[in-house]
Amino acid sequence: MDVIANLGLGFAVALTLQNIAYCFLGVLLGTVIGVLPGIGPVTTVAMLLPISFTLQPESALILLAGIYYGAQYGGSTTAILVNIPGEASSVVTTIDGHQMALKGRAGPALGIAALASFFAGCVSTLLITFAAPPLAAIALQFGPAEYFSLMVCGLIAAVVLAHGSLVKAIAMVVLGLLLGLVGTDVNSGARRFNFGMTGLADGIEFVALSMAIYGIAEVICNLEKKLATSVVSDAVGRVWPSVADLKYCAGSILRGTGLGAILGVLPGGGALLASFAAYTLEKNVAKPPRQFGQGDIRGVAAPEAANNAGAQTSFIPMLTLGIPGNPTMAMMIGALMVHGIAPGPRVMTDRPGLFWGLIASMWLGNLMLVILNLPMVGVWVRLLRVPYRLLYPAIIVFCCIGVYIINSKPFDAFVMAFFAVFGYIALKLDCEPAPLILGFVLGPMMEENLRRALLISRGDPMVFLEEPISLAFLIVAAGLLLVLAAPAIRVKREEALKE
Amino acid sequence: MAIRAPKDFWAGVMFCGFAAIGILAAKGYSLGSAGKMGPGYFPLLLGIVLAAMGVILIARSVVVEGERVSRFHILPLVIIATAVCLFGLMIEPLGLVASLAVLTVLSAWAGARFRLLETVALTLVLIAFSIGVFVYALGLPLNIWPSL
């Protein structure tokens, strides 16, 4: 069996002492920042990118991945105990989770959240194991025309599934693509958009851009919001849910896992979308009596399973196609590229140790997370007493040192300051930064594939419509746009009603 | 004509601005043809799409009612952006200790409440932590003290 041999290789990589340590560090950091409101996995991954460059690529990805799925566990703790989502993806967990806590059932709520996440994590790791190789095999057959259309489709889907205005999101994607082109053009050697600044000869540093937006601009926005620190009771009680609770939740956990796993694979998906969708599904299909909103344990189990499943399956398109579905995945791609690994279907065949090692580490990391979260929940709760005014200068300090150490180039600090101001303005104008980051990562690849496709077809743009796979991607993209353009108002109204 | 959706209007203006920069700069590079693209081709294409999006936003903002832009908190923004730039200017000649001290104090000052003792303590902790992690644990070639 190929799968067993592959997993064997993966565990051989993941179980080296060094990688176990990085996996542990990743999930530990993930838990901590998951618990803390005001600092999320995207920010943390961005802040750790420069450090990960000093590691082996395997260790770097294991560390960064641990942060992302670790945050899904930590986020639920804050959601249940303080009614503040530690992470955006645990927003829905606050609804029933905190009600349970008020009724003295905080322990079982935390327990079911961790166990549901663990179950979902194991299942989605298996799913990646089986789904990734065939997908990569298909992707290996793609020519430049297919790739270009796939990227268009991926970007459009990411935009459609993101919340907010469609036009603004498309504009942000296009702006991201443009920013990605700054620097020396690989084909002609022409220096583009450097405006006479030698610092821009190699383009805009990805780390500077992502830390500016997700680190510094977000800090400035948070400073206005006044994050409330509420009082937490230390009495959590027994965290292991009873057998009856487990039985009661089994269906919800299964549904949450399935839905989360599917939504995670889609561009624009991932943990956030998965948790919302799972909660909505649960409200409609769970066996009565439904007491959602008043502390129904299934309202905790389903979204928590879904956000972890979604977090992990979102690695599938990133690893097999080289297409990031969300900003965190864009940063993983950035990490790969700095290590000189071209993201795409070849990663699996050229660097099997990296690919399978990462997957094996996810299973290991999930196991560590259950151990970290259940018995030690009291420790994490105490973290909530750290006020934001002590936290944010640390974020800024980390971003500044980080941006400097990548290239030892002080100029990157100026780039970061510029995009921090831009990011703040964009956030104020309700322009989501996620599409910009996705566009930025894909910009050069998209230009290269467009160029090659049109070179082969001698400049005939019909090539994108004549190749069947390429046509299919474009039809999906156009379909998504049409679907969203029509009921845009309705979607907005629904969102407003939810709040 | 009144602007009914200020958020959309200003976003449109911003995108048009970026598009203008993109298109003007792209005109300086050779365009080539579709079959043999020059460095200016794809940027020009993107610039046009971006401009179109900007125009749609502006046009829509005078027709459809929308949200107002919430107040800009200029001071924290300026302080923090300046602090980051100062860090870039200071890190090589003056080293970590001095540049982090300036960065931390300025960042803390940008917040709502400034407490002197707490800020001093935080600065010391962050400097010690950064030197420990970056210089000793990761072995990165960073100056700790001013290089003379």
Q: Which of residues 335-364 of A touch B (CB under 8 A)?
A: none
Interface residue of B27, B36, B86, B107 to substitute, partner A, most A CBs within 10 Å: B107
Residue of B nearest to A55 (CA): B138
pLDDT for position A487: 57
Q: What is the CA radius of gyration of chain B?
A: 23
CA distances, A255 to each of A101, A116, A252, A303, B72 (Å): 24, 11, 5, 10, 43
Element counts in chain A: helices (H) and strands (E): 24, 2
Is B92 touching A (CB cutoff 8 A)? yes
- How far is Cα A113 from Cα B144, in angstroms, rounded to an integer? 45
- How far is Cα A119 from Cα A302, in angstroms, rounded to an integer? 11
Residue A497 has pLDDT above 50, yes or no: no
Helix/strand/coil (H/E/C) assignment for every residue in A229-258 = CCCCCCCCCCCCCCHHHHHHHHHHHHHHHH
Which residues on neighbouring strands pair with residue A192, listed in sequence order? Answer: A183
Interface residue of B87, B131, B144 to substitute, partner A, most A CBs within 10 Å: B87
Contact A393/B104, CB-based, under 8 Å?
Answer: yes
- How far is Cα A391 from Cα B105, in angstroms, rounded to an integer? 13
- The distance of B55 to chain A (nearest Cα, Å) reads 10
E runs forming strands in A157-271 = 183-184, 191-192
Q: Which of residues 428-487 of A touch B (CB under 8 A)?
A: 428-431, 446-447, 450-451, 454-455, 457-461
Q: In terms of residues, how long is chain B?
A: 148
Which region, left, alpha or beta, applies to residue A150 given φ > 0 means left and ψ of -120 to 50 means alpha? Answer: alpha
- How far is Cα A394 from Cα A397, in angstroms, rounded to an integer? 5
pLDDT 10s digits, A294-342: 888 898 999 999 999 998 898 988 888 888 888 889 999 988 888 888 8
- How far is Cα A165 from Cα A431, in angstroms, rounded to an integer? 8
Instruction: Assign A182 to helix, strand or coil.
Output: coil
State the average pLDDT over residues A491-496: 49
Contact A178/B47, CB-based, under 8 Å?
Answer: yes
Residue of B nearest to A424 (CA): B77
For A423-475, the DSSP string reads: HHHHHHTT--SHHHHHHHHHHHHHHHHHHHHHHHTTT-TTHHHHSHHHHHHHH
Q: Residue A135: CB partners within 8 Å, gap ≥ 6?
A: A316, A320, A321, A345
Contact B100/A424, CB-based, under 8 Å?
Answer: no
Contact A220/B80, CB-based, under 8 Å?
Answer: yes
Residue A183 has φ and ψ, to the nearest 5°, of 115, -165
Specify the number of domains making up chain A.
Answer: 1
Q: Using an 8 Å Cβ cutoff, are B2 and B68 in contact?
A: no
- How far is Cα A480 from Cα A160, in angstroms, rounded to an integer? 7
- How far is Cα A52 from Cα A42, in angstroms, rounded to an integer? 15
CB atoms < 10 A from the CB of B63, how many? 10
ipTM above 0.85, yes or no: yes
- How far is Cα B123 from Cα B118, in angstroms, rounded to an integer? 9
Q: What is the mean pLDDT of chain A?
A: 86
Chain B residues with CB-CB distance to A396 below 8 A: 80, 83-84, 103-104, 107
Q: Using an 8 Å Cβ cutoff, are A437 and A213 in contact?
A: yes
CB atoms < 10 A from the CB of A469, how many? 16
CA distances, A101 to each of A248, A351, B93 (Å): 18, 46, 54
CA distances, A299 to each of A117, A277, A351, A389, B100 (Å): 13, 12, 40, 33, 45
Q: Residue A376: CB partners within 8 Å, gap ≥ 6?
A: none
Peptide bond into A289 cis (omega under 30): yes
CB atoms < 10 A from the CB of A261, how many? 27
Is A412 touching B (CB cutoff 8 A)? yes
Q: Which amino acid is it at B77?
A: L
Both tokens assigned to A316: 């599938």
pLDDT 10s digits, A433-483: 888 999 999 888 899 999 999 999 888 888 899 888 899 999 988 888 887
pLDDT 10s digits, A385-436: 788 888 899 999 999 999 998 888 999 999 999 999 999 999 999 898 888 9
> Where is pLDDT greater, at A3 or A171?
A171
Range of the domain at A188: 2-261+269-498
Which residues on neighbouring strands pair with residue B32, listed in sequence order? Answer: B37
- How far is Cα A236 from Cα A292, in angstroms, rounded to an integer? 22
Residue of A nearest to B73 (CA): A224
Both tokens assigned to A488: 């845009």
Pick A455's closest partner by Cβ from B35, B43, B87: B35
Residue A465 has φ and ψ, to the nearest 5°, of -95, -20
- The distance of A453 to chain B (nearest Cα, Å) reads 9
Chain B residues with CB-CB distance to A219 below 8 A: 80
Residue A201 has pLDDT above 90, yes or no: no
pLDDT for position A499: 40
Residue of B nearest to A456 (CA): B35
Return the percent helix, strand and coil in chain B, to nearest 5.
70, 0, 30
pLDDT 10s digits, A21-31: 999 999 999 99
- How far is Cα A155 from Cα A324, in angstroms, rounded to an integer? 9
Is B68 touching A (CB cutoff 8 A)? no
- The distance of A77 to chain B (nearest Cα, Å) reads 27
- The distance of A193 to chain B (nearest Cα, Å) reads 6
- The distance of A33 to chain B (nearest Cα, Å) reads 18
pLDDT 10s digits, A358-381: 999 999 999 999 888 887 877 887
What's the pLDDT band for A496 if we cut at 50, 70, 90? Answer: very low
Pick A175's closest partner by Cβ from B15, B34, B89: B15
